Amino acid sequence: MKRSVLFLLVPAVFLFFANCGDNSKSSSDSKCLPKGATRCVGNVLQICANDIWFSLEDCNESGNICLEDNDDETVTAACVEPDIGNTGNTGDTGDTGDTGDTGDTGDTGDTGDTGDTGDTGDTGDTGNTGNTGDTGNTGNTGNSGNTGNSGNSGDTGNTAEDTYPEETETSKKAGDIARNIIFFDELDTEHRLEEWYVKKNPGSKLIWLIFAAYDCMHSSKLRNDLYLIADKDNIDKGLNVILIMNGLLTGPAPEQEPGKLFTMKDAMVTFNIENSNYIYGYLKYDQQNNFSRYINQGYPANIFIDAKDMKIVKHFEGWNSEEDFINEIKYFVSDFLSGT
């Protein structure tokens, strides 16, 4: 199925219709080959892992259908929107009603409070003057009071050295600074991209930030091929893979998260243990504007970021499972990690 790339703007949200090629050969027997293949069983999307078919997603839950394709030898399937056939001619349609007003953009979150300055300690009491002694003897001078302890100063904010680099207007090309986007993992824990900035994470060298859609078949191919490039050896050398699933081609669906992300990660780790080394996430609606600064046309978007200065060193969209393409990305990653 071929879809042209469209951009629809709703309240602070960009919806992308990506061109996602599909490939799959459905078989009714129980043999699970090749590894990484996906297929449709009724309306359930399954993935082949360890010679067993695992159910990845029930397409009915998102109102979609499970679709297969026969473009190449690798079986690939995905949940996609059903195509509605043409109906016969009907009478004239009445005038279309006015489009509703666009909703207001959500408010920006409040800046955190600055820590309080500690209280200054009390000054000690002055000692009493000694009594005058008998004639001839002068009284002893009293002891001076103890000086009070100084109060603790409030916590100091981040130093200039820890501050995230100044962001550029977009993050769509090499040379741009990556936006410090906020996302949530499969346990609904909040994360910021700055966590993998080298000044906060000294072992970090290269960040591979991926934006993908559940029903984009090119996204499915990328997930199947990921372990071929981001193996444990490269992870140990400083590669950090952040795979963000941003709903469907028609738009984000954070209301289905983090359950959907949890299920997908579980299936990927079952497929190959290397997949346990990556960070998984999803975006809420208030981050869609930042997401739009990363993407030009469609899914999957691949952004390679130098953790030293958070500058983008490679940006491209789409995926190809051919060996030459995989090797090109693999060599790029290896050369970068060896040269930093």
CATH number of the domain that residue 285 is part of: 3.40.30.10
Quote the strand ranges of the chain, DSSP E.
7-10, 13-16, 38-41, 44-49, 52-58, 65-68, 77-80, 182-184, 190-192, 206-212, 239-245, 279-281, 301-306, 311-317
Please indicate, yes or no, whether residues 306 and 186 belong to a single structural domain of this protein: yes
> Is 135 inside a domain boundary?
no
Question: End-to-end distance of the chain based on CA atoms, in angstroms?
Answer: 42
Please indicate, yes or no, whether residues 63 and 188 belong to a single structural domain of this protein: no
Mean pLDDT across the chain: 77
Lowest mean pLDDT among 76-90, 187-201, 244-258: 76-90
Please indicate, yes or no, whether residues 198 and 65 belong to a single structural domain of this protein: no
Contacts of 29 (CB under 8 A, 6+ apart): none
Query: What band does 97 get if pLDDT is binned at 50, 70 and 90?
Result: very low
Contacts of 109 (CB under 8 A, 6+ apart): none
Question: Can you name the residues that pair with 79 across neighbouring β-strands?
Answer: 66
> Is 302 inside a domain boundary?
yes
Q: What is the pLDDT of residue 79?
A: 85
Q: β-strand 65-68 against 77-80: which pairing, if any?
A: antiparallel
Average pLDDT, integer, range 244-251: 96
**Distance from C-alpha of 11 to C-alpha of 339, rounded to nearest angstrom:** 43
Q: What is the pLDDT of residue 72?
A: 56
Residue with tokens 């984000």: 252
The number of domains in the chain is: 2
Q: What is the pLDDT of residue 82?
A: 79
Residue at a domain's end among 34, 57, 80: 80
The answer, yes or no, to whether residue 156 has pLDDT greater than 70, is no
Contacts of 110 (CB under 8 A, 6+ apart): none
Q: β-strand 190-192 against 279-281: which pairing, if any?
A: unpaired
Please indicate, yes or no, whether residues 193 and 75 belong to a single structural domain of this protein: no
**Distance from C-alpha of 32 to C-alpha of 271, rounded to nearest angstrom:** 12
The domain of 41 spans: 7-80
Specify whether the CB–CB gap between 316 and 24 falls below 8 A.
Answer: no
> Is 256 inside a domain boundary?
yes
> Is 95 inside a domain boundary?
no
> Is 261 inside a domain boundary?
yes
* Amino acid (one-letter) located at 81: E
Please indicate, yes or no, whether residues 63 and 186 belong to a single structural domain of this protein: no
Lowest mean pLDDT among 24-33, 59-68, 82-91, 243-252: 24-33
How large is the angle between the packed helices 323-339 and 217-229, nearest 10 degrees? 50
Average pLDDT, integer, range 180-198: 98
- 171 secondary structure, DSSP code: -
Please indicate, yes or no, whether residues 187 and 73 belong to a single structural domain of this protein: no
Contacts of 232 (CB under 8 A, 6+ apart): 274, 277
Please indicate, yes or no, whether residues 212 and 71 belong to a single structural domain of this protein: no
Lowest mean pLDDT among 95-109, 199-213, 260-274: 95-109
Tally of CB atoms within 10 A around 155: 9
Q: What is the pLDDT of residue 155?
A: 44
Q: What is the pLDDT of residue 75?
A: 61
Cβ burial of 313 (10 Å; 0-12, 13-18, 19+) is middle
Angle subtended at Cα 193 by Cα 191 and Cα 199, rounded to the nearest 5 degrees:
110
> Is 142 inside a domain boundary?
no
* Amino acid (one-letter) located at 329: I
In this predicted model, which residue has the larger pLDDT, 26 or 97?
A: 97
Please indicate, yes or no, whether residues 188 and 334 belong to a single structural domain of this protein: yes
**Distance from C-alpha of 244 to C-alpha of 209, rounded to nearest angstrom:** 8
337 phi, psi to nearest 5 deg: -65, -30
Q: Of 33, 31, 18, nearest to 78 (Cα)?
A: 18
> Is 116 inside a domain boundary?
no
Residue at a domain's end among 80, 103, 119: 80
Please indicate, yes or no, whether residues 192 and 60 belong to a single structural domain of this protein: no
> Is 87 inside a domain boundary?
no
Residue at a domain's end among 80, 111, 136: 80
Alpha-carbon 30 to chain mean position: 35
**Distance from C-alpha of 76 to C-alpha of 78, rounded to nearest angstrom:** 7
Average pLDDT, integer, range 275-284: 97
